[in-house]
């Protein structure tokens, strides 16, 4: 009986984290939209009809479109995402930074997998949006939990194809790397999180057979590339220039 109660409590706990906190998303949107300096807010729609925020920074001479995916529980203009999406838009790319589904502020990363299917749908909608803008090539640049969400998107049958994937500070190993059809840059900081550093060799091996892929560790950088945004941008742009030319 006691074992049954424990299992029921565990199931209830898991179910409590199975739904995205859409009210928190709306609060993020209300907070950041008036302060956007590069690009314009747009609303994308899921197959269910639910809409979500993205920030589109066009570039009339863009050689490719880049979908930018943030990490755990934040928003599409947060931290290192802002300089990435803004500077790439000024250096030959159009960017679309997308709001991923979030849980409550206290939620941990290991409580997010129930949201991964919706995250994959959002990424698919973003890629489709960029294709609709006329970009023949589309890449994804994703940070931390956002890179794991992108990994799930790439594993999902029937998703729109992409031309390059930059995974910044992804923890653990890649799932189903045999489904990857585009070159991957596994990018991390020398002082990254243990879950990132400890699995670096496994990730390098996982993408070894994906043509054009590689792994780079940036000296002195932490998980968020604090104070090293220029070095981060340099590595991302170097890879995208090769992968999307």
Q: Domain for residue 200, yes or no?
A: yes
Q: 221 is in which domain, residue-wise?
A: 20-243
Q: How confident is the model at residue 8 (pLDDT cuts 50, 70, 90)?
A: very low
Q: Is residue 30 part of a domain?
A: yes
Please report whether residue 13 resides in a domain.
Answer: no
CATH code of 99's domain: 3.40.50.1820
Does residue 225 lie within any of the structural domains?
Answer: yes
Structural domains counted in the chain: 1
The mean pLDDT of the chain is 92
d(CA 115, CA 19): 7
- Tell me the whole-structure pTM to 2 decimals: 0.92
Q: Give the pLDDT mean for 123-152.
A: 97
DSSP string, 93-129: EEEEEEPPP---TT--GGG-GGGHHHHHHHHHHHHHH
9 part of a folded domain: no
| 105-142 exposure pattern, b = at least 16 Cβ within 10 A, e = fewer | eebebebbeebbebbbbbbbbbbebbbeeebebbbbbb
Question: How far is it, in rounded angstroms, from Cα 71 to Cα 239?
Answer: 21
Is residue 66 assigned to a domain? Answer: yes
- Provide the pLDDT confidence category of residue 166 given band limits of 50, 70 and 90: very high
Residues 6 or more apart whose Cβ sits within 8 Å of residue 245: 63
Domain membership flag for residue 5: no
Q: What is the pLDDT of residues 176-226, one digit of tens each?
A: 999 999 999 999 999 999 999 999 999 999 999 999 999 999 999 999 999
């Amino acid at each position: 009986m006691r074992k049954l109660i424990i299992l029921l409590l565990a199931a209830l706990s898991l179910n409590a984290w199975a739904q995205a906190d859409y009210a928190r998303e709306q609060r993020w949107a209300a907070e950041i939209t008036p302060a956007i300096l590069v690009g314009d807010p747009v609303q994308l729609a899921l197959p269910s009809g639910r809409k979500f925020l993205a920030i589109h920074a066009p570039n009339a001479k863009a050689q490719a479109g880049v979908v930018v995916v943030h990490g755990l529980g934040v928003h599409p203009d947060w931290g290192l995402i802002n300089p990435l999406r803004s500077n790439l838009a000024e250096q030959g790319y159009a960017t679309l930074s997308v709001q991923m589904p979030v849980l409550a502020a206290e939620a941990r990363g290991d409580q997010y997998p129930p949201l991964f299917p919706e995250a994959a749908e959002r990424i698919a909608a973003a890629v489709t949006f960029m294709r609709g803008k006329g970009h023949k090539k589309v890449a994804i640049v994703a940070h931390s939990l956002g890179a794991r969400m992108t990994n799930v998107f790439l594993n999902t049958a029937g998703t729109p194809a992409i031309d390059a994937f930059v995974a910044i500070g992804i923890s653990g190993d890649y799932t189903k790397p045999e489904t990857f059809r585009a070159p991957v840059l596994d990018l991390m900081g020398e002082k990254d999180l243990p879950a990132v550093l400890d699995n670096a060799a496994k990730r390098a091996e996982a993408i070894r057979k994906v043509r054009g892929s590689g792994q780079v560790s940036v000296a002195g950088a932490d998980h968020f590339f604090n104070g090293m945004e220029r070095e981060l941008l340099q590595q991302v742009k170097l890879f995208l220039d090769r992968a999307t030319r």
